[in-house]
Amino acid sequence: MSNWELTEFVVPEVPDKDRFHDFALPLPLMHAIADLEFEYCTPIQSGVLPFSLADYDVTGQAQTGTGKSAAFLITILTRLWENPDQTERPRGSPRSLVLAPTRELALQIESDGRDLAKYMNMGVHCVVGGMDFQKQLDRIKSGPLDLLIATPGRLLDFINRRQINLRQVEVLVLDEADRMLDMGFIPDVRRIVQQTPHKRNRQTLFFSATFNDDVMRLANSWTLEPEHVSITPETVATASVQQEFWLVGADEKAKVLSEFLSEQKPERALIFANRRDQTHRLVALLTRKGLSVEALAGDVPQRKRLSTLNRFKEGDIPYVVATDVAGRGIHVDGVSHVINFDLPEDPEDYVHRIGRTGRAGAEGISISFVSEDDAFNLPLIEEYLGNKVTCTQPGKFAGAD
């Protein structure tokens, strides 16, 4: 591992694109980036890294799927590598903390963090609800805790039991702040932030898909003179995703979905429904049609959800039906289609959903069923996207030649 050289990872300079080579990152981190075949920065990475690597606080406006996790993980790992601990740190005392609203997202960030830190000999661990407390405790006590990723409720459990101490956190990341606000987590997050050093004595990176007044208040209270980086939803939504809207009667949606999957056989499709019960009904119906499909919803046991997610990533299951909260943690390259069986009530969720496809420079297709039951959500989506959408009849399936 130690004899790897940067010359083994050649990335040509391209106008208007930043390379990871351009940021003087630690060699072991660049080795991992090379393994991951990350060549050019995404827009959010190009915007954030010049400030975050210079120790500025940053507020970033970007959807899931834009590469923001890599931006803050690269920042954390670089800082910790360049400023190693001079004395032995007490067990359970993390140097950096990432707060995420859902278990799936937290576990995905942990996975990404381990991939990036694989040559850096750093302790990267995750604590989330719904999983064995003692096993998590054993892991975080097993060695140095350089990077801790957590959901708010479970982290407070560890803090209240005096198993985790945040007084030496050097970098604090708050991811998907708007979602934490929506889910009622802010009182817990506020208690957690109060356990960390004062904002003058830590670096804070604050990410949110939207920056309304409530989110701005949080950002102002937890960051110090931050640099603001914004990636617009329109760019995210349309850059690499072909968006289609199909007019389908409410009582015909299941039939159209079943026929589309059976006839067109998309390589890997993520299907969104608005309610848990709807996901289970769809899975039952599609299974009866001989399709391999599973559900990702809040009432599915955590162990089963992780198994489903891993099998979807590996390609063992081609189709998954998910709710929005469960879908937030799905970071899978190679999702060819996102199908909105129900139009989401929140236009931001539409952008989050279709961001599951068209990742890592690949092309993707989103298909949204528009019925009499949810057509009233369409104007809000159009307003959010900044353009009108055209609805078509499924016919021989739009986009299928």
pLDDT at 398: 43
Distance CA 261, CA 11 (A): 39
pLDDT at 337: 92
pLDDT at 323: 87
pLDDT at 99: 97
Residues 305, 108 contacting (CB under 8 angstroms): no
pLDDT at 2: 63
pLDDT block averages, 10 residues each, the chain of length 401: 84 90 95 92 93 96 82 97 89 96 90 95 94 93 94 96 96 94 90 96 93 91 94 59 90 93 91 90 93 86 81 90 73 84 86 77 85 88 82 65 40
Distance CA 342, CA 272 (A): 7
Q: Is 194 helix (H, G, I), strand (E, B) or coil?
A: helix
Q: Which helix (H) or strand (E) holds 243?
A: strand 241-247
- State the DSSP string of 23-77: G---HHHHHHHHHTT--B--HHHHHHHHHHTTT--EEEE--TTSSHHHHHHHHHH
At 293, which amino acid appears?
V
Beta-carbon contacts of 335 under 8 Å, excluding residues fewer than 6 positions away, are: 268, 269, 270, 356, 357, 359, 364
Q: Is the CA virtual torsion 204, 205, 211, 212 positive or negative?
A: negative
pLDDT at 401: 40
pLDDT at 352: 79
Domains observed in the chain: 6-231 (3.40.50.300), 235-392 (3.40.50.300)
Burial of 298 (0-12, 13-18, 19+ CB in 10 A): middle
